[in-house]
Structure 1
Amino acid sequence: MRQPSDAEAGVTTRRGRNKERARKRVYASAITLFRHKGYAETSVAEIAEHADIARGSFFNYFPRKDALICAWLKERRATLTRRLGTHLRCGMHVAESLGTCMSVLGALNEEDLDLSLAMLTAWVQAGRPLDQEPHLEAVFAEIVECGRTRGEVPDALDSGQVGELLRDLYIGVLCRWARRPPAEQHSLGADLQQALDLLLHGIATPAGPHHGRR
């Protein structure tokens, strides 16, 4: 089988770089439009025009419009991982680590509010909560497992199950926060911390079986 020449390999590499640059330009155009118009209100034709390509060329980079949601989620995961690596310190108590994680998630959503709301709406409408990759629960589960090995949480706890529960808590708080009118929205980070505190400390008093009975 004939090996490609250096010239042919160079052409292939250059084409790959050009395609990746064009893909990034299409993605950046889409994000700009989603931020200002919303996901549902932005068409593929508008994205292509903004990126200065033919409408049909859009599909050379993304098979469908909703593939942009996956691209955005992948970028969001990378940002979250990077920021958690900066903020989480070895030796933190599990409660402090989880609180830090919720703070980072809150800030990540609030710093570009229009885009976060547009993409959250698109994510729900596209059914992504049903087939999402198990990333966020794995982040929570790792924190819980570290706490379990240090004796900060009961040995009987399933770290994976707790990770799923914390993921559900985050998504629930995020969705309720997003539904509020702008005038009624306050800190997402504060809402997440309040929900986490409720989960960690419980809702029942540590009383005996007959406490409060008359």
Structure 2
Amino acid sequence: MFNKVSVVSDRALRKQQQTRDHLAQAAIGLFDQNGYAATTMDQISTAADVARGTLYNHFADKDAIVAYWVDTQLAQGIPQLLHHVMTLSSFEERVTGVFEASAQWWQGHWVYIAPYLRHRFQQVQSNDAASGSDMLAVYERLIADAQDAQEIIATTPAPQLARYLHFLYLGAVMHALGNAGVSLSHELKQAAAFFLAGCRAPSAIPTHADQPARRHPSKTKA
């Protein structure tokens, strides 16, 4: 009986994801064709050939559709991204590599960054801003490995640090969006450096002995 229930549940989840994927693809097609602002939820349901109620059962608004589509696109690239960054030698290099890959992806999808951020920050009120983001699992993996290597503090659990890093990421993206001419790549590098400055393990902080000796200019005779 339990196996039968499990099979039915798995089938329902697969069908739900297939429906959401179908709706998101129909919406993105309309956004690309007509523009995000000009596209309505009614047009999306018509293009997807589903009832209006079905669309709203899966997505509350267009921003939610964009957030789902963006997270799906990013999730598809995670295995390859992790394979690459795990060849790097330090946590700083790895998280910077993840952020740089994200910046490059957003450059080709900049039109969707505002609705994505709106949806994510609306979820703050429900304490759910990180849900649905597969990147959170990536951050947690990198942080846990760095804690094992004593690169960053282990007194704070990796999942909690991952959420801090995720919010720094969102803040950097929001700052770049609201300031023309600001480089997203630069903002994300700053966010990574800020995070590392706050959680670097004491043993990983360079001591004075590790610093190159300062050379004082020789005094010249009068």
- TM-score class, shorter: 0.5 to 0.7
Q: Which amino acid aligns with 2:171?
A: G
Q: Which amino acid aligns with 1:71?
A: Y
Identity of aligned residues (%): 19
CA contact (8 A) 2:67 2:115 kept: no
Judging changes above 3 Å, is the alpha-carbon distance between structure 1 residues 23 and 201 closer, same or farther for their aligned structure 2 residues?
Answer: closer
User: What are the superposed Cα offsets for residues 67-125 of structure 1, whole Å, 9 maximum, x if unpaired?
Assistant: 5245325414413523423422246311111111111221222221112333333444x
Which residue of the partner structure matches residue 112 of structure 1? 109
Question: CA separation in 1, counterparts of 2:175 and 2:69?
Answer: 21
Which residue of the partner structure matches residue 210 of structure 1? none
Deviation of 1:170 (Å): 0.5
User: What are the superposed Cα offsets for residues 7-54 of structure 1, whole Å, 9 maximum, x if unpaired?
Assistant: xxxxxx9xx99x95x86554222113335522x543122223444x3x
Which residue of the partner structure matches residue 220 of structure 2? none
Which residue of the partner structure matches residue 8 of structure 1? none
Which residue of the partner structure matches residue 212 of structure 1? none
Which residue of the partner structure matches residue 176 of structure 2? 177
Alignment partner for residue 28 of structure 2, among 15, 28, 31?
31
Give the secondary structure class of the aligned counterpart of 1:117.
Answer: helix
Q: Which amino acid aligns with 1:72?
A: W
Which residue of the partner structure matches residue 145 of structure 1? 144
Number of aligned residues: 179
Deviation of 1:165 (Å): 1.5
Asked if 1:44 corresponds to 2:38, the answer is no
TM-score between the two structures when normalised by the length of structure 1: 0.66
Structure 2 unaligned blocks of 5 or more: 1-10, 199-206, 209-222
Question: CA separation in 1, counterparts of 2:105 and 2:150?
Answer: 31
Deviation of 1:193 (Å): 0.4
User: What are the superposed Cα offsets for residues 124-174 of structure 1, whole Å, 9 maximum, x if unpaired?
Assistant: 4xx234423164333212211101212222443432232122111101111
Asked if 1:57 corresponds to 2:51, the answer is yes
Question: CA separation in 2, counterparts of 1:136 and 1:95?
Answer: 16
Asked if 1:167 corresponds to 2:166, the answer is yes
Asked if 1:188 corresponds to 2:184, the answer is yes
Alignment of 1:72-83 (within 5 A): 72-83=69-80
Judging changes above 3 Å, is the alpha-carbon distance between structure 1 residues 197 and 91 closer, same or farther for their aligned structure 2 residues?
Answer: closer
Question: CA separation in 2, counterparts of 1:23 and 1:149?
Answer: 38
Question: CA separation in 2, counterparts of 1:154 and 1:128?
Answer: 28
CA contact (8 A) 1:62 1:68 kept: no
Deviation of 1:57 (Å): 2.3
